[in-house]
Amino acid sequence: MSATDTSLQNFQADIDKWMSENVPKKPGFLLPLTFLEVGTEQQLDFLREWQLKLWSAGFLGMHWPTEYGGQGADPAYQGIVDKALSAHNAPIIFNTIGLNWTGPLLLDVGTEEDRKRYIKNILTGEEIWCQGFSEPDHGSDLGNVQTRAVRDGDEFIVNGSKIWTTLGNYADHMILLARTDTSTARKYDGLSFFLAPMKVAGVEARPIRKVTGEFGFNETFFTDARIPASCLLGDEGGGWRMAMKTLEYERGVIAGQASAHSMQSIDLEDLMDAMYDFERDGAPILEDAMIRDELVKLAIEAKANSISDRRAGIPALNTDYPFGIALSNKYRHTEYARRLKMMGAHVQGAQGALFMDDDKAYMGGFWQRAYFANFGTTIGGGTTQIQANIIGEHVLGLPKS
Amino acid sequence: MISAIIGSKKIDFSEEQGMLLDVAREFVKDKSPGSEVRKLLESEAGFSEPVWQELVDLGWTGINLPESVGGSGLGIAALIPVVESMGKGLMGTPLVSTVLAAELIRRAGGIAEEDVLEDISGGCAATVAYLDGSDWGGANTGVSVDENGVLSGSKFMVPDAAQATWIAVVGSDAAGDAVVALVAGSDVAVQAQASHALIDLTKRASTLDFAGVKAQRVLSGDKVDSAIRDYLLIGALLTAAEAVGSTSACLAGIVDYLKTRKQFGKLIGSFQALKHPTVDIYVGMEHSRSLVYHASSEIDDGPLSTEAEVACRMAKAKASDTIQYAGDRSVQFHGGFGFTWECDSSLFIRRAAWSQQQFGDAMHHRKRLAPLLLDA
């Protein structure tokens, strides 16, 4: 499919029609708002079925090659699908680590064999992916990874543990960063990158209960787990470069993702809806001057964020700090979302002190849960503070901390 | 989801804007180095006559005006890169006052004002006498204009008044309706002008007493109210554009210092207590700049739309708070040196304080955004 205006418009109409008819109704249980929060089999089955339905209809992996299960279309089509998913408030497309990080990585640097083996099952949701980068003792300091992978013939023996493995207890594969050499001068040069199987002896994923009270993350333990040497992606000792590339996909610095709909977005309109349900000082809360100012501040930030994202595409308006807007994407959006969701809890008065299990909780505790869950995005994938270091050092040229 | 509150996300950047940005940046770099800025602080005029003439020759006093009056017909959008660049170089000129006067006259008047607009595009400085006192949100129509066009009352903080060939005075007629009186600068006696000691020494402004001054003509009628509203919004936008430029220069100064100054054996830029707020200044500057160029995409020659009003107010609110933060942190992060007159941080914090108070501060605009965004 080419990307002429007419064909895009026709596609837009098709996808809108399909979504209106096929986006599933809300089930009788709370669905995860983000891929970080899949905590029950019930949620998993529901989301898996939904992803398969979307792929079967030809609306997933729009710009991935057809020989691997994609649709072979222009990237603009995936953008239209993602916007439609968001506009129709569709459930998330949950296999995010496969669709957005592993897939683009394999299409970029993987072997033909890797692509044939993995990509189609990422799209159908048949195989779930998780990520093994962070470790219990050094969350943000990736270069310091200690999980060991020791070569033994045509296998590696893995020992150590990974933390925050989203979907780890359900996953078939992990993109794993492990140390294959402890003697290198630079700690980065001893790291290797694996497409590691999860369902082998010696790998155990233990669910972690989160601040929301729900599950979704795991701590993954490797105890003499044997994985084939063919799982290595790139060269032995070349893992750091692969990990950095993965993070660029993860942070939205470069494109290639099969579906950006990994989070159900909550925006100012949702917050405005809540405004009609509360009073302050005996009057509608929307008449409160302090509340109004907070909402206007959020609106300015939201607008500045989205216009900045557009401005990043105008080179003449990015000459001083050419990649600054892209590199600050995660920093800007996740912190804005945190403040927005916190406000959703603030406006509720005393009800804001209730949580999910209380039957008087406003919208089942939606805002409180969303606020807490948002920390997954300001901490995961490099904390806000690490992002600030990256922007300070790589955009402004400040010395390393 | 397309959010009604957020509204338009349009951002256009024309070829003309691109060329003007390149030219203006080079021009300002060349004509307004730090030494020149410092020299002009002490001068009476606050700007260099020869540089003004060059700027006139480049056509910048008429960029926004129609070709029929000697302008380039490029609209307000084309002024943004120029004003932003001047902000970056802290360049003193009456350009902003002049183009704002032209916008007010053009929007309030009609074909009969072509001679005044021709003067302006030809390089005669002009200004608007708007404020009665300190309140940007007040009526500011306290100067009365009688049936013979004779004024009484005074105006506060009129920018670049001493240079102005034309002064557009906002007042009211006998019926109490708003009017714009066009006064020749030469008709305001020297004794009736009292220049202010401004916080930003690159700027000039005076209180003017118009008692007994006869206007050359008086613009009245149904276009005046909306022209005044649009003048205030465009004024806010141009102030924001200038602030974005100044913020980027202030940021560059902070970054330079953080990359060279050592304490406790380390470059101070390696300390996160300084690095992270600097990143926030950077992000705030980018956001302000996006909002400024967005607003310029929403303005045309007609009365400003609601989208344009939202855009101008957001741009001013964000740019004001950002430059205030940048100037404030610049003084602090330069340590003892930052506390001195010598350090350029003093120029930036003074620019910040001035800029915040032009055309309404951030709170003024957020208050007016609230009904536009929340009660629609």
Residues composing chain B? 376
What residue in A sits closest to B287 (Cα-Cα)? A304
Q: B13–A269: do the CB atoms touch at under 8 Å?
A: no
A79 interface with B at CB cutoff 8 Å:
no
Beta pairing partners, B184: B166
Q: Residue A178 and residue A135: Cα distance in Å, rounded?
A: 10
Q: Give B267's contacts in chain A (Cβ within 8 Å).
A: 399
CATH number of the structural domain spanning residue B120: 1.10.540.10
Residue A328 CA from chain centroid, whole number? 16
Helices B345-356 and B223-260: angle between axes, nearest 10 degrees? 160
What residue in A sits closest to B17 (Cα-Cα)? A316
Q: A398–B269: do the CB atoms touch at under 8 Å?
A: yes
What are the Cα distances from residue A57, in Å, to A60, A90, A123, A258, B61? 8, 15, 12, 15, 59
Q: In this structure, what are the phi and psi dihedrals at residue B249, rounded to the nearest 5 degrees?
A: -70, -40
Q: Which of residues 276-335 of B touch A (CB under 8 A)?
A: 276, 278-280, 282-283, 286-291, 293-294, 314, 317-318
Q: Is B253 within the bounds of a domain?
A: yes
Query: Number of residue pairs across A and B with CB atoms under 8 Å?
Result: 146
Cα B62-B65-B67 angle, rounded to 5 deg: 95
Q: B293–A317: do the CB atoms touch at under 8 Å?
A: yes
Tokens linked to B99:
């183009």
Domain end, chosen from B171, B191, B221, is at: B221
Domain end, chosen from B197, B221, B245, is at: B221
Is the domain of B181 the same as that of B296? no
Domain range summary for chain A, segments of one domain joined by +: 5-128, 130-250, 268-395
Is the domain of B232 the same as that of B211? no
Is the domain of B64 the same as that of B87? yes
Q: Which of residues 248-287 of A touch B (CB under 8 A)?
A: 265, 267-269, 272, 286
Is the domain of B284 the same as that of B214? no
Q: A307–B9: do the CB atoms touch at under 8 Å?
A: yes
Annotated active-site residue A250? The verdict is yes
DSSP characters over B200-254: STT--EEEEE-TTPBPSEEE-STHHHHHHHHHHHHHHHHHHHHHHHHHHHHHHHH
Q: A272–B6: do the CB atoms touch at under 8 Å?
A: no
Q: Give A303's contacts in chain B (Cβ within 8 Å).
A: 6-7, 9, 291, 294, 314
Q: Residue B31 and residue B146: Cα distance in Å, rounded?
A: 45
Is the domain of B166 the same as that of B246? no
B369 interface with A at CB cutoff 8 Å:
yes
Matching residue, tokens 């949701």: A125
What residue in A sits closest to B364 (Cα-Cα)? A293
Matching residue, tokens 């920390």: A375
Is the domain of B83 the same as that of B201? yes
- How close, in Å, is residue A300 to chain B by CA atoms? 6
- What's the pTM value of the predicted model, to 2 decimals? 0.86
Is the domain of B62 the same as that of B186? yes
A293 interface with B at CB cutoff 8 Å:
yes
Q: Give A305's contacts in chain B (Cβ within 8 Å).
A: 287
Whole-complex ipTM: 0.96
pLDDT in tens, A197-208: 999 999 999 999
Question: Under CATH, which architecture does the A130-250 domain have?
Answer: Beta Barrel (2.40)
Q: Give B373's contacts in chain A (Cβ within 8 Å).
A: 295-296, 299
- How close, in Å, is residue B293 to chain A by CA atoms? 9
Q: Which of A37, A135, A250, A335 is catalytic?
A: A250
CB B184 within 8 A of CB B166: yes
Q: Which of residues 118-177 of A touch B (CB under 8 A)?
A: none
Q: Is B357 within the bounds of a domain?
A: yes
Is the domain of B240 the same as that of B187? no
Q: Give B363's contacts in chain A (Cβ within 8 Å).
A: 293
Give the model's pLDDT for residue A215.
Answer: 87
- B79: domain range? 15-221
Q: B370–A293: do the CB atoms touch at under 8 Å?
A: yes
CB B103 within 8 A of CB B232: no
Which helix (H) or strand (E) covers residue B172, if one does? Answer: strand B166-172
Give the model's pLDDT for residue B1.
Answer: 34
Is the domain of B73 the same as that of B174? yes
Is the domain of B44 the same as that of B165? yes
Residues composing chain A? 401
Question: Under CATH, which architecture does the A5-128 domain have?
Answer: Orthogonal Bundle (1.10)
Burial of A292 (0-12, 13-18, 19+ CB in 10 A): buried
Give the model's pLDDT for residue A382.
Answer: 86
Give chain A's residues under pLDDT 50: none
Q: What superfamily in CATH does domain A268-395 come from?
A: Butyryl-CoA Dehydrogenase, subunit A, domain 3 (1.20.140.10)
Give the model's pLDDT for residue B112.
Answer: 84
Query: Mind spelling out the 3-state secondary structure of A363-400?
Result: HHHHHHHHHHHHHHHHHCCCCHHHHHHHHHHHHCCCCC
Which of A292, A304, A399 shows the shortest C-beta gap to B370?
Answer: A292
Q: Is B10 within the bounds of a domain?
A: no
Q: Give the 3-state secondary structure of residue A126.
A: coil
Is the domain of B254 the same as that of B211? no
CB atoms under 10 Å from CB of A136, counted, come to: 12
Tokens linked to A326:
């892209």
Q: Is B208 within the bounds of a domain?
A: yes
Looking only at the bridges linking them, the beta strands covering B126-129 and B166-172 are parallel
Is the domain of B125 the same as that of B169? yes
CB A166 within 8 A of CB A131: yes
Q: Give the 3-state secondary structure of residue A316.
A: helix
Best mutation target among A86, A291, A300 (most B Cβ atoms within 10 Å) is A300
Q: Residue A341 and residue A347: Cα distance in Å, rounded?
A: 10
Domain end, chosen from B221, B243, B264, is at: B221
CB atoms under 10 Å from CB of A158, counted, come to: 23
Give the model's pLDDT for residue B302.
Answer: 92
- How close, in Å, is residue A88 to chain B by CA atoms? 8
Burial of A336 (0-12, 13-18, 19+ CB in 10 A): middle
Give the model's pLDDT for residue A200.
Answer: 97
Q: Give B6's contacts in chain A (Cβ within 8 Å).
A: 267-268, 299, 302-303, 306
Q: Which of residues 129-188 of B touch A (CB under 8 A)?
A: none
Give the model's pLDDT for residue B2.
Answer: 39
Q: How many domains does chain B have?
A: 2
CB B9 within 8 A of CB A307: yes
Burial of A364 (0-12, 13-18, 19+ CB in 10 A): middle
Give chain B's residues under pLDDT 70: 1-3
Q: Give B314's contacts in chain A (Cβ within 8 Å).
A: 299-300, 303-304
A318 interface with B at CB cutoff 8 Å:
no
Matching residue, tokens 């939904």: A50
Tokens linked to B269:
């830029």
A332 interface with B at CB cutoff 8 Å:
yes
CB atoms under 10 Å from CB of B9, counted, come to: 18
Which of B1, B6, B289 shows the shortest C-beta gap to A265?
Answer: B1
Q: Is B7 within the bounds of a domain?
A: no
B261 closest CA partner among B345, B204, B323: B345
